[in-house]
Amino acid sequence: MTDIPMVQPEILFAAGVLFFAYFIRGIAGFGSALISVPLLVIFFPVSQVVPLVGLLDWLASVSQGLPNRRLIRWPDLLPLLPFTVLGVSTGLYLHTVLAQTSLLFALSIFILLYAVYALLPFPSLHGERWLAAPAGVMGGMVGALFGTGGPFYVIYLTLRQLDKTEFRTTIATVFVIDGLCRIVGFTLNGFYTLHILAIGAGVVPIGALALWLGGRVHLRISHVAFVRLVSIILLGSGIALLVKAFTAS
Protein backbone atom coordinates (compact mmCIF):
# COMPACT_ATOMS: atom_id res chain seq x y z
CA MET A 1 0.00 0.00 0.00
CA THR A 2 1.34 3.39 -0.91
CA ASP A 3 1.61 5.99 1.79
CA ILE A 4 -0.87 8.86 1.65
CA PRO A 5 1.11 12.11 1.41
CA MET A 6 0.77 14.28 4.52
CA VAL A 7 -0.01 17.97 4.25
CA GLN A 8 2.69 19.97 5.99
CA PRO A 9 1.49 21.76 9.17
CA GLU A 10 2.57 25.18 7.92
CA ILE A 11 0.39 24.74 4.81
CA LEU A 12 -2.65 23.97 6.99
CA PHE A 13 -1.77 26.95 9.18
CA ALA A 14 -1.53 29.23 6.14
CA ALA A 15 -4.88 28.00 4.78
CA GLY A 16 -6.54 28.64 8.16
CA VAL A 17 -5.01 32.10 8.43
CA LEU A 18 -6.11 33.07 4.92
CA PHE A 19 -9.65 31.78 5.48
CA PHE A 20 -10.03 33.75 8.70
CA ALA A 21 -8.42 36.86 7.19
CA TYR A 22 -10.75 36.94 4.19
CA PHE A 23 -13.79 36.11 6.30
CA ILE A 24 -13.06 39.26 8.31
CA ARG A 25 -12.42 41.11 5.02
CA GLY A 26 -15.87 40.03 3.85
CA ILE A 27 -17.46 41.57 6.95
CA ALA A 28 -15.43 44.75 7.36
CA GLY A 29 -14.12 45.45 3.86
CA PHE A 30 -10.51 45.41 5.04
CA GLY A 31 -8.21 43.60 7.48
CA SER A 32 -7.05 40.63 5.42
CA ALA A 33 -3.44 41.81 5.11
CA LEU A 34 -3.39 43.10 8.69
CA ILE A 35 -4.33 39.64 9.91
CA SER A 36 -2.54 37.42 7.41
CA VAL A 37 0.83 39.11 6.85
CA PRO A 38 2.06 39.15 10.50
CA LEU A 39 1.01 35.50 10.94
CA LEU A 40 2.22 34.12 7.60
CA VAL A 41 5.70 35.60 7.98
CA ILE A 42 6.17 33.27 10.95
CA PHE A 43 6.69 30.43 8.46
CA PHE A 44 7.21 32.10 5.08
CA PRO A 45 9.56 34.82 3.75
CA VAL A 46 8.27 38.40 3.68
CA SER A 47 9.35 38.64 0.03
CA GLN A 48 6.80 35.92 -0.79
CA VAL A 49 4.03 36.82 1.66
CA VAL A 50 3.60 40.52 0.82
CA PRO A 51 3.28 40.11 -2.99
CA LEU A 52 1.00 37.06 -2.58
CA VAL A 53 -1.36 38.77 -0.13
CA GLY A 54 -1.25 41.89 -2.29
CA LEU A 55 -2.51 39.90 -5.27
CA LEU A 56 -5.25 38.18 -3.25
CA ASP A 57 -6.31 41.49 -1.71
CA TRP A 58 -6.62 43.08 -5.14
CA LEU A 59 -8.91 40.29 -6.34
CA ALA A 60 -10.97 40.63 -3.15
CA SER A 61 -11.21 44.40 -3.61
CA VAL A 62 -12.48 44.03 -7.17
CA SER A 63 -15.17 41.59 -6.03
CA GLN A 64 -16.29 43.88 -3.19
CA GLY A 65 -16.09 47.24 -4.93
CA LEU A 66 -17.51 46.71 -8.42
CA PRO A 67 -20.91 45.14 -7.58
CA ASN A 68 -21.81 48.06 -5.26
CA ARG A 69 -20.07 50.87 -7.12
CA ARG A 70 -23.13 53.16 -6.84
CA LEU A 71 -22.39 53.34 -3.09
CA ILE A 72 -18.81 54.59 -3.52
CA ARG A 73 -18.28 57.98 -1.84
CA TRP A 74 -16.36 59.58 -4.70
CA PRO A 75 -15.95 63.03 -3.03
CA ASP A 76 -14.02 61.33 -0.21
CA LEU A 77 -12.23 58.80 -2.44
CA LEU A 78 -10.86 60.99 -5.24
CA PRO A 79 -8.61 63.18 -3.00
CA LEU A 80 -6.86 59.99 -1.82
CA LEU A 81 -5.79 58.72 -5.22
CA PRO A 82 -2.81 60.90 -6.24
CA PHE A 83 -1.34 60.67 -2.74
CA THR A 84 -1.80 56.89 -2.71
CA VAL A 85 0.15 56.57 -5.97
CA LEU A 86 2.88 58.80 -4.50
CA GLY A 87 2.98 56.68 -1.34
CA VAL A 88 3.25 53.38 -3.25
CA SER A 89 6.11 54.77 -5.36
CA THR A 90 7.90 55.93 -2.21
CA GLY A 91 7.41 52.59 -0.48
CA LEU A 92 8.81 50.62 -3.42
CA TYR A 93 11.90 52.84 -3.36
CA LEU A 94 12.29 52.55 0.42
CA HIS A 95 12.33 48.75 0.13
CA THR A 96 16.00 49.12 -0.83
CA VAL A 97 17.15 51.81 1.63
CA LEU A 98 15.04 51.75 4.82
CA ALA A 99 15.59 50.03 8.16
CA GLN A 100 12.13 48.50 8.32
CA THR A 101 12.10 47.83 12.09
CA SER A 102 11.83 51.52 12.96
CA LEU A 103 8.83 52.00 10.69
CA LEU A 104 7.13 48.92 12.11
CA PHE A 105 7.49 50.30 15.63
CA ALA A 106 6.02 53.67 14.67
CA LEU A 107 3.18 52.10 12.69
CA SER A 108 2.20 49.68 15.45
CA ILE A 109 2.12 52.39 18.13
CA PHE A 110 0.00 54.67 15.95
CA ILE A 111 -2.50 51.90 15.17
CA LEU A 112 -2.74 50.86 18.83
CA LEU A 113 -3.41 54.40 20.02
CA TYR A 114 -6.18 54.93 17.49
CA ALA A 115 -7.75 51.50 18.17
CA VAL A 116 -7.85 52.20 21.93
CA TYR A 117 -9.45 55.59 21.25
CA ALA A 118 -12.07 54.00 18.99
CA LEU A 119 -12.95 51.34 21.61
CA LEU A 120 -13.36 53.85 24.46
CA PRO A 121 -16.59 55.89 24.86
CA PHE A 122 -15.21 59.14 23.43
CA PRO A 123 -17.32 61.25 21.07
CA SER A 124 -16.82 60.38 17.41
CA LEU A 125 -14.53 62.69 15.46
CA HIS A 126 -15.13 64.28 12.10
CA GLY A 127 -12.18 64.91 9.80
CA GLU A 128 -11.84 67.18 6.79
CA ARG A 129 -10.92 65.99 3.30
CA TRP A 130 -7.42 67.45 3.50
CA LEU A 131 -6.58 64.41 5.66
CA ALA A 132 -6.66 62.43 2.41
CA ALA A 133 -3.12 63.68 1.70
CA PRO A 134 -1.32 62.14 4.73
CA ALA A 135 -3.63 59.10 4.71
CA GLY A 136 -2.93 58.40 1.03
CA VAL A 137 0.84 58.84 1.28
CA MET A 138 1.18 56.74 4.44
CA GLY A 139 -1.29 54.08 3.30
CA GLY A 140 0.42 53.65 -0.07
CA MET A 141 3.92 53.69 1.38
CA VAL A 142 3.27 51.28 4.25
CA GLY A 143 1.22 49.05 1.96
CA ALA A 144 4.12 48.77 -0.48
CA LEU A 145 6.56 48.08 2.36
CA PHE A 146 4.56 45.65 4.51
CA GLY A 147 1.26 44.98 2.74
CA THR A 148 -0.56 46.56 5.71
CA GLY A 149 -1.35 50.16 4.73
CA GLY A 150 -5.09 49.74 5.26
CA PRO A 151 -5.35 51.40 8.72
CA PHE A 152 -4.53 54.82 7.28
CA TYR A 153 -7.37 54.55 4.75
CA VAL A 154 -9.65 53.15 7.45
CA ILE A 155 -8.92 56.03 9.80
CA TYR A 156 -9.51 58.63 7.09
CA LEU A 157 -12.82 57.13 5.95
CA THR A 158 -13.93 56.62 9.56
CA LEU A 159 -13.29 60.31 10.25
CA ARG A 160 -15.41 61.10 7.18
CA GLN A 161 -18.27 59.22 8.96
CA LEU A 162 -19.41 56.91 6.18
CA ASP A 163 -22.08 54.34 6.97
CA LYS A 164 -20.98 50.71 7.09
CA THR A 165 -21.94 49.79 3.50
CA GLU A 166 -20.52 52.97 1.96
CA PHE A 167 -17.37 52.39 4.01
CA ARG A 168 -17.01 48.78 2.86
CA THR A 169 -17.51 49.66 -0.81
CA THR A 170 -15.38 52.81 -0.82
CA ILE A 171 -12.40 51.25 0.92
CA ALA A 172 -12.58 48.25 -1.43
CA THR A 173 -12.27 50.72 -4.33
CA VAL A 174 -9.28 52.38 -2.65
CA PHE A 175 -7.64 48.97 -2.41
CA VAL A 176 -8.34 48.24 -6.10
CA ILE A 177 -6.28 51.28 -7.09
CA ASP A 178 -3.66 50.92 -4.35
CA GLY A 179 -3.31 47.20 -5.03
CA LEU A 180 -2.95 47.67 -8.78
CA CYS A 181 -0.10 50.12 -8.21
CA ARG A 182 1.61 47.63 -5.91
CA ILE A 183 1.12 44.71 -8.29
CA VAL A 184 2.72 46.69 -11.12
CA GLY A 185 5.62 47.64 -8.85
CA PHE A 186 6.13 44.09 -7.57
CA THR A 187 5.98 42.75 -11.13
CA LEU A 188 8.57 45.22 -12.40
CA ASN A 189 10.84 44.28 -9.49
CA GLY A 190 10.54 40.52 -10.16
CA PHE A 191 8.56 39.48 -7.06
CA TYR A 192 5.94 37.45 -8.96
CA THR A 193 7.60 34.17 -9.78
CA LEU A 194 5.74 31.20 -11.22
CA HIS A 195 5.84 29.64 -7.74
CA ILE A 196 4.05 32.63 -6.17
CA LEU A 197 1.45 32.73 -8.94
CA ALA A 198 0.78 28.99 -8.57
CA ILE A 199 0.24 29.37 -4.82
CA GLY A 200 -2.06 32.32 -5.45
CA ALA A 201 -4.19 30.31 -7.87
CA GLY A 202 -4.40 27.50 -5.33
CA VAL A 203 -5.67 29.64 -2.46
CA VAL A 204 -8.15 31.80 -4.42
CA PRO A 205 -11.05 29.35 -3.71
CA ILE A 206 -10.34 29.58 0.04
CA GLY A 207 -10.43 33.36 -0.08
CA ALA A 208 -13.54 33.44 -2.27
CA LEU A 209 -15.51 31.20 0.11
CA ALA A 210 -14.39 33.21 3.14
CA LEU A 211 -15.33 36.51 1.45
CA TRP A 212 -18.79 35.19 0.59
CA LEU A 213 -19.44 34.02 4.16
CA GLY A 214 -18.17 37.29 5.58
CA GLY A 215 -20.43 39.23 3.22
CA ARG A 216 -23.44 37.34 4.56
CA VAL A 217 -22.50 38.34 8.10
CA HIS A 218 -21.99 41.98 6.99
CA LEU A 219 -25.66 42.23 6.03
CA ARG A 220 -26.72 41.24 9.55
CA ILE A 221 -24.33 43.30 11.68
CA SER A 222 -25.34 46.65 13.24
CA HIS A 223 -23.37 49.86 12.67
CA VAL A 224 -22.26 49.98 16.34
CA ALA A 225 -21.05 46.37 16.20
CA PHE A 226 -19.33 47.10 12.89
CA VAL A 227 -17.38 50.06 14.35
CA ARG A 228 -16.36 47.92 17.32
CA LEU A 229 -15.23 45.09 15.04
CA VAL A 230 -13.10 47.49 12.98
CA SER A 231 -11.51 48.83 16.18
CA ILE A 232 -10.76 45.34 17.47
CA ILE A 233 -9.15 44.39 14.14
CA LEU A 234 -6.97 47.49 14.35
CA LEU A 235 -6.02 46.67 17.95
CA GLY A 236 -5.08 43.10 17.09
CA SER A 237 -3.10 44.10 14.03
CA GLY A 238 -1.27 46.80 16.00
CA ILE A 239 -0.24 44.24 18.61
CA ALA A 240 0.84 41.79 15.89
CA LEU A 241 2.94 44.47 14.19
CA LEU A 242 4.53 45.46 17.51
CA VAL A 243 5.47 41.84 18.20
CA LYS A 244 6.87 41.56 14.68
CA ALA A 245 8.93 44.73 15.22
CA PHE A 246 10.38 43.38 18.48
CA THR A 247 11.25 40.02 16.95
CA ALA A 248 12.85 41.69 13.92
CA SER A 249 15.03 44.02 15.99
pLDDT the model gives residue 133? 94
For residue 123, the model assigns a pLDDT of: 64
The secondary structure of the chain, three-state, reads: CCCCCCCCHHHHHHHHHHHHHHHHHHHHCCCHHHHHHHHHCCCCCHHHHHHHHHHHHHHHHHHHHCCCHHHCCHHHHHHHHHHHHHHHHHHHHHCCCCCHHHHHHHHHHHHHHHHHHHHCCCCCCCCCHHHHHHHHHHHHHHHHHHCCCHHHHHHHHHHCCCCHHHHHHHHHHHHHHHHHHHHHHHHHCCCCCHHHHHHHHHHHHHHHHHHHHHHHHHCCCCHHHHHHHHHHHHHHHHHHHHHHHHHHC
- So what's the pLDDT on residue 124? 64
Residues of the chain with pLDDT under 70: 1-7, 98-100, 103-104, 107, 121-125, 223, 227, 248-249
Dihedral sign of CA atoms 224, 142, 35, 99 in order: negative
pTM: 0.74
Amino acid at 33: A
Structure confidence by residue, pLDDT tens digits, 138-152: 988 888 877 777 778
Q: What is the pLDDT of residue 125?
A: 65
Model pLDDT, residue 22: 93
The CA-based angle 35-169-118, given to 5 degrees, is: 55
Q: What's the confidence (pLDDT) of residue 213?
A: 92
